[in-house]
């Protein structure tokens, strides 16, 4: 998985861009089952760049009520099938929730005919790069419909945005289970157990669960709390993690020199 980013003498230790506040039980399991140390050294938060001037999607968000919009984006590597794209768009339409949907690559050319007209004023579809950090940080954004790639997960958590999890490939299924089942910070889109497909009703149901149903308050509270932990200016989490990792490296180097 991409967050297990650095190996130090493979038989001895691994550094990973996570933190115990998110994955303590899994870090403990890894260490017990492999006999190797694991040092969380993240999650590293970059400064928010200046807001880009004249960005249409941000101007559109400026006109929406607070926490009213679901932001749907699947990164640059996930390719939705025609069936998945239809279910996604029709589900967003059926949810009756305002949405900002980013579709890159082949998906952009597969927009269902009439979809933009039917959702005009309530939804915005963008087929080019967008400033995702600024969208997640925008006060109008109320949920993140995401493939749950690790970068997107950490960005959503950073800004306290609940998740509608729709994993597609790689480690995204594990990340979605972490967000939904362990941390209780979102809802995963239901799928057919036989073929893994999802329908427009599955999309609409998950979006509504995070945005308007009874459980949305609990989900929002959970994700806001972890956001405070991850972004506090004086947060001891990162200093402690980095200190422990550097100290272990120094101790390992020292023990080699004295052998």
pTM over 0.85: yes
Per-residue model confidence (pLDDT) at position 211: 98
Per-residue model confidence (pLDDT) at position 3: 60
Residue 31: C-alpha distances to residues 36, 62, 77, 256 (Å): 5, 46, 31, 22
Catalogue all structural domains in the chain, each as residue range(s) with its CATH number: 6-46+234-258 (no CATH), 56-230 (3.40.50.2000)
Give me the residues of the chain with pLDDT under 70, please. 1-12, 107-110, 233-237, 256-259
How far apart (Å, rounded) are the C-alpha atoms in residues 167 and 178? 12
How far apart (Å, rounded) are the C-alpha atoms in residues 234 and 63? 34
Per-residue model confidence (pLDDT) at position 139: 98
Per-residue model confidence (pLDDT) at position 9: 52
Per-residue model confidence (pLDDT) at position 207: 98
Per-residue model confidence (pLDDT) at position 19: 87
Per-residue model confidence (pLDDT) at position 183: 96
Per-residue model confidence (pLDDT) at position 51: 96
Share of the chain above pLDDT 90, in %: 61
Per-residue model confidence (pLDDT) at position 79: 81
Per-residue model confidence (pLDDT) at position 1: 41
């Amino acid at each position: 998985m991409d967050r297990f980013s650095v190996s130090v003498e493979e038989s001895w230790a691994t550094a990973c861009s996570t933190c115990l506040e998110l994955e303590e039980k899994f870090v403990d399991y890894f260490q017990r089952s492999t006999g190797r140390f694991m040092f969380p050294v993240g999650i590293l938060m970059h400064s928010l760049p200046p807001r880009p001037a004249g960005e249409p999607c941000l101007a559109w968000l400026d006109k929406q009520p607070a926490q009213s919009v679901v932001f749907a984006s699947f990164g640059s590597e996930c390719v939705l099938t025609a069936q998945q794209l239809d279910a996604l768009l029709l589900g967003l339409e059926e949810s009756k929730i305002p949405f900002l949907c980013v579709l890159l690559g082949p998906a952009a050319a597969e927009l269902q005919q009439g979809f933009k007209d039917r959702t005009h004023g309530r939804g915005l579809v963008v087929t080019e790069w967008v400033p995702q950090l600024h969208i997640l940080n925008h006060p109008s954004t109320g949920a993140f419909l995401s493939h749950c790639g690790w970068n997107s997960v950490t960005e959503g958590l950073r800004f306290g945005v609940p998740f509608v999890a729709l994993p597609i490939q790689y480690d995204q299924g594990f990340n979605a289970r972490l967000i939904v089942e362990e941390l209780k910070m979102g809802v995963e889109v239901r799928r057919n157990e036989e073929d893994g497909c999802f329908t427009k009703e599955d999309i609409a149901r998950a979006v509504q669960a995070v945005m308007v149903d009874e459980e949305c308050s609990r989900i929002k509270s959970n994700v806001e709390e972890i956001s405070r932990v991850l972004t506090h200016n004086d947060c001891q989490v990162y200093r402690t993690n980095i200190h422990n990792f550097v100290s272990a490296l120094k101790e390992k180097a020292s023990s080699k020199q004295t052998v």
